[in-house]
Chains A and B, each alone.
Chain A
Amino acid sequence: QKEVEQNSGPLSVPEGAIASLNCTYSDRVSQSFFWYRQYSGKSPELIMSIYSNGDKEDGRFTAQLNKASQYVSLLIRDSQPSDSATYLCAVNTLNTGTASKLTFGTGTRLQVTL
């Protein structure tokens, strides 16, 4: 079982709609959670971080975290064609006394159609 699971997609949504991206993780002691956007041929760009249960909103983006269900999601409101990219979910996997490396899912490809 992969430590961080995402549906690879593509997820296709019409312009102006809400895109919902989901991620589950296996390590119950994970503490912090991140969403990165990656355009084709580019490097990951951090768009949201979330650390506690509930919702966190930033502009058109809302991250949702449910630690009991080991589930984190990203909602994109009023989706634009420029949102078309791969969205990577990343989880902080802390080794006792050492690093805060990130474990990534394989990403969900989002396509926003006109």
Chain B
Amino acid sequence: GAGVSQSPRYKVAKRGQDVALRCDPISGHVSLFWYQQALGQGPEFLTYFQNEAQLDKSGLPSDRFFAERPEGSVSTLKIQRTQQEDSAVYLCASSGSRTSALDEQFFGPGTRLTVL
């Protein structure tokens, strides 16, 4: 597709449920990032993939958060045993180069997660 796509766009979960959020990056983009955005805040980095390799997961807030990108394209962010503090918009971004620090990142529409 022309841009980054994410699904679902909205997700309501009961506390304790597991959720899976999907990201389909721009075709051919090597790098994929996940961010979390709370209301009134800027996006906060969660994790980064270069192809299928997860090179940085320093932003994942707890071991309940897990991300994968097994074939170097689509990525899934999984949150186990969701808590109310996990309520946020989860943004996926992709960029085109392997190692350049100058890459522009393009965001998908986000998934708004609400945990009741």
Chain A positions within 8 Å of B102 at CB level? 31-32, 49, 51, 92, 100
CB of B72 closer than 8 Å to a CB of A: no
A34–B45 Cα gap in the complex (Å)? 15
The tally of residues in B whose CB lies under 8 Å from a CB in A reads: 29
Asked whether A44 and B31 contact (CB < 8 A) given A51-B102, A92-B102, A104-B43, the answer is no
Choose among A32, A46, A90, A107 the residue that contacts B101 (Cβ–Cβ < 8 A): A32
A107–B38 Cα gap in the complex (Å)? 12
Chain A 80-114 per-residue mask, 1 if CB under 8 angstroms from chain B, else 0:
00000000101010110011111111110000000
CB of A43 closer than 8 Å to a CB of B: yes
CB of A57 closer than 8 Å to a CB of B: no
Asked whether A104 and B44 contact (CB < 8 A) given A94-B101, A98-B56, A99-B55, the answer is yes
Choose among B40, B59, B104, B109 the residue that contacts A34 (Cβ–Cβ < 8 A): B104
Q: A34-B104, A42-B109, A101-B56 known; 6 other A-B pairs, CB under 8 Å?
A: A31-B102, A36-B107, A95-B56, A98-B48, A100-B48, A104-B42
Query: Dominant SS at the A interface?
Result: strand
Q: Are B107 and A100 neighbours in the complex by a CB distance under 8 Å?
A: no
Q: Which 8 A-B pairs have the closest CB atoms?
A: A104-B42, A99-B56, A99-B48, A101-B45, A43-B107, A100-B101, A32-B102, A43-B110
